[in-house]
Amino acid sequence: MKTIVTALCATLVATAATAGNDCTAGKTLEDGVLTIATGNPAYFPWVIDDAPETKQGFEAAVAYAIANEMGFEDDAVSWVRTSFDEAIQPGAKNFDINMQQYSITPEREEMVDFSLPYYTSAMAILTTATVVEAVGDPAPEALKGLLWGAMAGTTGAMMIDDAIGPEKDILLYNDNTDVTQAIQAGQIDAALFDLPTALYLSAVTVENGALLGQFPAERSQNPDQFGILMEDGNPLKACVDAAIEALTASGQLAALEAEWLAAATGVPVIE
C-alpha cells in the first residue's frame, strides 16, 4: 500500500513543474524532485504520527525547510523509508538525502557523507522514579552500579562505556519499544537516549518514567550531532550544506527546534 502511495506521489510530483535551484540541477534521483528518506517507523518527536509529509515534527519540518531553501516546493518533495542498513549498503540508493537522527562520527564518515549538523543533542538517562529515588544525586560514581541498557547501533550504546563505565555488562535492544519494555520488566535500571527521545519516552511510554540527568549537548567529548546522510561522494552535499548554513544563519533552524523539541531545563546536568 505504502509503495503504491509513494509511487502515486512520485508520478504526481513528476508531472508538476520542475523545481530546484542551480545547485541541485541534475543531481537528484529524479529531476525536480527531492527524495528524502526517513525511518520506518519514524518516531516522535522527530516525525509526528509517522507522517513526514504533514510537516509535523522536528525532522519533518527541518526537511521541508531545507528542501525549500534548495529550491524545491513542498509538492516536489517525495518521501521513502529506509533502515539504517539500507542507508549504508553499497549500491544504488532510493533516496537523495536520508534523515533519521544520524549521529555524525568520523568512522561513519569514511563510508557515507554527512551534511553539516542540523541539531546537537544532549544525552539523557531514562529510568523510573523508583530508581531516581534510590540513586538520588546523579554523580558518575552512583551511575556505575546501575544495570544499563540502550538501543543497539545508537551513539547512546557507545557512550555508556565511555561516560559511565558500568560494572555490569550493558544490554542492547533493537528499538525504543524493547528498551522501555526491559525497563518496565526491571531487567535494566536505566538507558541512554538523545534528550528529546528520552523526554518523550519518560512522559508517554514508560510507566512511572523519569529522567535521572543529562549529559549536556556542548560536552567536549563526542558531542552528539545529527547530520543528514548521503551516499559517499553525493554532489548534492554542497547544496544541502549551503541550505543548512542559510537556515542556521537566519535563525529558522533554532526556531524550529524551539517549536518542536521541548525545552529540558528541569533535567539535572551531569558534569
Partner 1 sequence: MTDTSDTTARPGRRAVFEAALRRRSMRIAATSTAAVLLAIVLLVPLAPGWEAVKKSFFNGPVFSKTFPGLLDAFLLDIAIFAWSLPLIAILSLVVAICRDIQRPALYPLKLFATLYTDIFRGLPVILVIYLIGFGVPGLGLPRPWNSPYIWGSLALILVYSAYVAEVIRSGIESIHRSQRSAALSLGLSSGDTMRFVVLPQALRNVVPANMNLVIALQKDVALLSFVGPVEIFRQAGVYKSLYANFTPYVGAALIFLIITIPATRYADYLMHKRRRIEQ
- The site for partner 1 (CB under 8 A) is made up of 84-85, 88-91, 105, 107-108, 110-112, 149, 152-154, 157-158, 169-174, 178, 181-182, 184-188
Residue 81 C-beta: closest distance to partner 1, Å: 18
Residue 105 C-beta: closest distance to partner 1, Å: 7
Phi, psi of 28 (to 5 degrees): -90, 165
Q: Which is nearer to partner 1, 150 or 212 (CB)?
A: 150
Give the residue from 46, 34, 69 showing the smallest Cα distance to 119.
46
DSSP secondary structure of 119-155 = EEE-EEEEEEHHHHHHH-S--HHHHHTSPEEEETTSH
**Within 10 A of 161 (CB to CB), how many other CB atoms are there?**
11
Residue 207 C-beta: closest distance to partner 1, Å: 11
Q: Which is nearer to partner 1, 85 or 259 (CB)?
A: 85
Give the residue from 93, 29, 102 showing the smallest Cα distance to 59.
102
Whole-angstrom Cα distance, residue 150 to residue 153? 9
Q: Which is nearer to partner 1, 88 or 242 (CB)?
A: 88
Whole-angstrom Cα distance, residue 270 to residue 85? 33
Q: Which is nearer to partner 1, 123 or 247 (CB)?
A: 123
- Answer for the pair 94, 40: CB distance below 8 angstroms, yes or no: no
Q: Which is nearer to partner 1, 46 or 173 (CB)?
A: 173
Amino acid at 178: D
